[in-house]
A and B are shown apart, each in its own frame.
Chain A
Amino acid sequence: MMKRQAYLGIDIGSISTKGVIIDEKNKILASAYIWTEGDPIGASKKLLHLLEEQFDKEHYQITAAGTTGSARKLVGTMIGAGTVKNEITAHAVGTTSLHPDVRTILEIGGQDSKIILVENGVAVDYAMNTLCAAGTGAFLSSQSKRLGIDVEDFGEIALHSQRPARIAARCTVFAESDLVHKIQMGYAKEDIVAGLCQAVAENYLNNVGKGKKILSPVVFQGGVSKNAGVVSAMKKALGCDILVDENGHLMGALGIAILAGRSGSIQEFDFSAEHAAFQTREVNCGRCPNNCEIICVYRDGKLIDSWGNRCEKGALRAEK
């Protein structure tokens, strides 16, 4: 019997690593969501293992793989992915495949946040935070540690607040000092938590969303969309309903799997990368005063790829 085709997509973010395997009709066959914990290679191996356990190898064969997210290049090299694409495109494709009528995609991840405007199922404009990670997941999780609360419980606690504390939202550093001030003043914990959620929503809309026309239907995704407090603050600020997909965290992975499938190039994928040893090494080129930092990736001791050089002088070729 001919095996049916399946596509693998992995989204390696700063905080979490997500993966899906889909069939030709974009149906999710397997999915996994784990913490990156500062080790994208290790996390991707673990993720592949989790996906392999759920995957029906008898009936399906993975014929295309793609990676996205901030470690897309590294992990793309590692698993030999045919499609390596930025997370903005991946999120737009993933979300519009599930919600073809969406007009605005709000996305708040661990370190970055973006807004994508969609018309007739096609992205027409986007913006991404620059220079500053204020109002992202990393900010929430560092503050939850300060407050001694698990970040997963944050949203629930926020919803109990009657009068959220006002927290200066323009900048993470000032937000934090304002937060400490409010704690020392004796504000109730839930009011502070709710205030923080509001600060994240406001910060996002004032920075990333600045000048963009936010039309409904609005889909909110990324790790922070799991936080009911931020969702409710966002709804209040926008004055319209917001859709949070239960698979919202998988959109990037789904998008890149779809793009890998669409790419048309067939490359059978086995899970062998799970068991190989990968190493990275940084070299400074030194051939001109730019002194580019070149990252070399080795699989079982063999150089498989390198990047970071600005010009040909710093090009290191993989051993054939």
Chain B
Amino acid sequence: MSQKKVAFPRFGNYNLCIKYFVEQALNAEYILQPLLTQRTLEAGARYSPDSVCAPFKTCLGSLIDALEAGADTLIMPPGICRLGYYGELHEQILRDLGYEFDFINLSRYSTGKPKDYLKALKRIDPDLSAAHLARVGAETLKMLAHLDDTEAEYYKNCGFEVHHEDYHKTWSRFLAAMETAQSLHDIEQAYSWVKQAFSSIPISKPAFPLRVGVVGEYFTAVDGFSNHFLEQKIADMGVEVHRFMSVTNRNLRYHGKNLQIGIQDYCCYEMGPTSTANIWAAKHYASHGFDGIIHIKSADCTPEIDIMPVLQNISADYKIPVLYLSFDSQTSDTGLETRLEAFYDMIRIRKEGK
């Protein structure tokens, strides 16, 4: 049997981890589609219901990109919100368009028993052993944690670099190393290289820089294209940008019940896939003297709409401004820049007055 050509929707930089996993664990070829662009979004929007959230459209567009690039097996992630239902719709839409492919919808295997995920993966590699899966799985999670960790450091410092693009060049090189990694050794080597490289970039950072915390809907907060590279835009104004939401923090190291304890004054139970994490992060930023919080979501994202009143309470209690932004396929860059610039001016003038 020939090797399967596997693809996954574009989602931040996490495709690099999936690539590693597919290539090393599943004995298959991974198709890495081009980066998300306006064309991807438009292609996705053309075949999507108009009122559905932007991540649905982006994912559909990037699945089409993958099929055009030669993929024959598509994997769709599971999710606790409407995302859990999206795989089924994506498959139907793509089949109606006439594409031929195998579709592995992980939502169908989300039964609470991890063993069932093994069944899904065996569709790609019938000879997959649990031991091999466990080993490569652990390596992949290492890579994922390193990616998130490096990205977090990037956005904390890139706004203060002395030479233009120093950080960006290093970060791109690190991503390229992760893309070509073939073993845990490669991953660890690239990670220690980037740590070293980042720490030797000259920066000029004030003792008390402006700090902004970004919270919001999983996909839109994490995926740069989907939020119009909002973090880069604020960082470039000379701001330290923090974002708690990431696969590492939301999935690998997540313990909802324990985060809930710190926010019980604001809400007493989990309200959606990312509500506890976001409220916890917002309270954390507010109580740690951050200058502002930006809440981002795709338009009409119900779980995130639900946490907005809680953020308003945090904003009032800690006297910290919160900027609320919604993104859809029609969002204009100009409108976004106006709002970000005004937000930046406001927190800067406010800090100067203190």
Give chain A's interface residues, CB within 8 Å of chain B: 70, 85-89, 92, 120, 122-128, 130-131, 211, 213, 288-291, 310
Contact = CB atoms under 8 A, between A and B. Distances in A.
B135 interface: no
B268 to A, nearest CB: 21
B37 A290 contact: yes
* Interface SS, A side: loop
A290 B37 CA distance: 5
B161 to A, nearest CB: 16
Interface stretch (B98-106, B202-210, B254-262, B317-325): B317-325
Contact of A130 (B38, B315, B325): B325
Given A124-B319, A131-B299, A86 B309 contact: no
Nearest to B352: A122
B341 A89 contact: yes
Interface string B40-59: 10000000000000000000
Contacts of A290: 37-39
Given A130-B325, A211-B309, A89 B342 contact: yes
B200 interface: no
A88 B345 CA distance: 9
A288 B37 contact: yes
Interface string B215-247: 000000000000000000000000000000000
A127 B324 contact: yes
Given A122-B353, A123-B349, A128 B339 contact: yes
Interface string B7-35: 00000000000000000000000000010
Contact of A289 (B37, B309, B312, B325): B37
Contacts of A213: 316
Nearest to B229: A310
B308 A211 contact: yes
14 contacts: A89-B345, A92-B346, A120-B353, A126-B343, A128-B342, A130-B326, A130-B335, A131-B330, A211-B308, A211-B312, A213-B316, A289-B37, A289-B39, A310-B333
A288 B343 CA distance: 31
A157 B345 CA distance: 40
Contacts of B334: 70
B62 to A, nearest CB: 12
A139 B42 CA distance: 30
B338 interface: yes
A86 B338 contact: yes
Nearest to B40: A289
B341 A123 contact: no
Contacts of B308: 211
A291 B39 CA distance: 8
Interface string B141-182: 000000000000000000000000000000000000000000
B288 interface: no
Contacts of B350: 122-124
